Amino acid sequence: MTSSPGAAGRSVLEGAFGLLEAVERAGEAGLTRLAAECGLPKSTAHRLLEQLAELGAVERHRGGYRMGPQMYRLGHRWQPNPALRSAARRPMRELAELTGAAVGICVLWKGQALVLEWVPGKEPEPSVVARRGSTWPWRAAAGKVLMATAGPVALPGPPPGSWTREAAAIRARGAAFDREELVPGVCCAAVPLPGRPGRAPLTSLCVVTDPGHRLERIADAAARTAQVIGNGLRGR
């Protein structure tokens, strides 16, 4: 039995997206590795990768492939709310000026906190420098505050024994904290950004700094900024 044109088209798209995901995971890899990871014949993988290269989705580099500028450009245009960047730009800069720390907006993506926006602070960057498209484990403050407030969300893997209690504390405080739990010398406070009325928050506002700052005060400042952004999203 021959496959339908629609099924064949889906197969090609699945193969192309599988290769893109493999390139993203590897950073840079050769044809043999990418074909093996995706379970594709080398000839098929080569054909798809060359087509993706012509479109700018990947680029050839030192005999292998890495992510191309077109994917970077398109990916950075994505946002959960079309007005988010314009509403958040000035309040984020003002929060960075006020605290001297770096400020980011994150969304949950595949069990991680994906950085959508990033404003460097006046102080030297902490040892972990973020940028648009960076991902952090969900256990980072920016991820924890969304996991705790976004309703029933499946955790990637077994939760820590203390998570139920910590999630309740995050909801009660309206903020999550990371006190060097992931990276020595790096602390973070994060609050949820208001979503649509009656809806759970989709994004979080985080402030990344060093242990010399009081995270509770930073969280309060972040909460005020989140309200300003929320008002902007509602057109007020």
Contact 101/213 with Cβ under 8 angstroms?
Answer: yes
Edge-first strand order for the sheet with 102-109 is 135-137, 112-119, 102-109, 203-209, 187-192, 176-179
Torsion angle of C-alpha atoms 9, 14, 17, 18, degrees rounded to 10:
-150
Task: Record the pTM.
Answer: 0.68
* Residues of the chain under the 50 pLDDT cut: 1-3, 5-6, 9
For residue 141, the model assigns a pLDDT of 95
∠ at Cα 112 (177, 206), nearest 5°?
A: 35
CA distance 142 to 177: 8
User: What CA–CA distances, in Å, run from 15 to 2, 9, 34, 58, 192?
Assistant: 19, 10, 11, 14, 36
pLDDT recorded at residue 1: 41
Give the model confidence (pLDDT) of 97-129 as tens digits. Answer: 999 999 999 988 778 888 888 999 887 665 555
Q: Rounded to whole angstroms, what are the CA distances from 22 to 30, 36, 58, 136, 147? A: 11, 10, 11, 19, 27
Which residues, including other chains, have CB under 8 Å from residue 143's CB and lie 6 or more apart?
106, 108, 112, 113, 136, 137, 204
- ∠ CA 205-210-212, nearest 5°, is 115
CB 166 within 8 A of CB 149: no
Task: Find residue 118's DSSP bridge partners.
Answer: 104
Residue 136: predicted pLDDT: 86
3-class secondary structure, 120: coil
Alpha-carbon distance 150 to 78, whole Å? 20
Tokens of 169: 């504390």
